[in-house]
Amino acid sequence: MGYEEAREELDSVVRRLESGGLTLKESLALWERGEELARVCEQWLEGARARLAAAVEDAGNDPDAPF
C-alpha cells in the first residue's frame, strides 16, 4: 500500500470514528485499522527521511554539489 492510499484511508477512518454512532466493536475495529494505517504511513515517512539524509550526506561529500 502506498503512502497516499494509506493516508486517505486513515483520514476516512478518523472521520468515521469522529462522527460517532458506532458500536464499541465497530469503533475498536476502526481504531485497530487506523493504528495499522498510521504504521504504514510512518514507515513511508521514515524511508523518505532516510533517503533525504543519504542524499544530503552524499551532496556534502561532493564538492560540486549546489548546496
Residue 65 lies in a domain: no
Question: What is the C-alpha separation between 52 and 67, in angstroms, rounded?
Answer: 14
- pTM of the shown model: 0.78
Residue 55 lies in a domain: yes
| Coil vs helix vs strand at 66 | coil
Residue 66 lies in a domain: no
Residue 67 lies in a domain: no
Which residue, chain included where needed, has cell 495499522? Answer: 36
* Cell, residue 28: 475498536
Question: What is the C-alpha separation between 11 and 60, in angstroms, rounded?
Answer: 38
Residue 7 lies in a domain: yes
pLDDT mean across residues, the chain: 92
For the domain that residue 24 is a member of, what is the CATH number?
A: 1.10.287
pLDDT band at 15 (very low <50, low <70, confident <90, very high): very high
Question: What is the C-alpha separation between 58 and 56, in angstroms, rounded?
Answer: 5
Please state the domain count of the chain: 1
Q: Which domain holds residue 23?
A: 3-60
- The 10s digit of each residue's pLDDT in 19-36 is 999 999 999 999 999 999
